[in-house]
């Protein structure tokens, strides 16, 4: 939230889903799991990635609601 993100898409599991659901931040993950993860304190940015078989590129638009996620190379009309 401090980064100004509207949400997160996680190609893996999350824990504490009840607490995540109360945040003013959308979180989409493949599943929940009770085991704590190992933090590596590393990462990369501005690279294409593949999540659940879908390729995402820097600058793509991601739209999500309770039913799922879609990705577009351009901004879509909403409303």
Q: By C-alpha distance, which of 48, 50, 72 is closest to 62? A: 72
The predicted pLDDT at position 39 comes to 82
Contact 48, 59 (CB under 8 A): no
pLDDT band at 3 (very low <50, low <70, confident <90, very high): confident
For residue 36, give Cα distances in angstroms to 1, 28, 31, 39, 51: 21, 18, 14, 9, 21
Q: What are 6-55's pLDDT values in tens digits?
A: 888 888 899 999 999 999 999 999 899 999 888 888 888 899 998 878 89
Kindly report the pTM of this predicted structure: 0.74
The predicted pLDDT at position 5 comes to 86
Q: What are 27-36's pLDDT values in tens digits?
A: 999 899 999 8
23: Cβ contacts below 8 Å, ≥ 6 apart: 1
Question: What count of residues does the chain have?
Answer: 79
Distance CA(7)–CA(63), nearest Å, equals 10
């Amino acid at each position: 939230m401090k980064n100004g993100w509207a949400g997160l898409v996680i190609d893996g599991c999350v824990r504490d889903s009840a607490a995540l659901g109360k945040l003013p931040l959308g979180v989409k993950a493949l599943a929940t799991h009770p085991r704590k993860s190992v933090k590596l304190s590393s990462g990369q940015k501005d690279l294409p990635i593949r999540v659940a078989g879908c390729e995402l590129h820097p600058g793509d638009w991601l739209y999500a609601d309770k039913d799922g996620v879609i990705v577009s190379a351009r901004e879509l009309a909403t409303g």
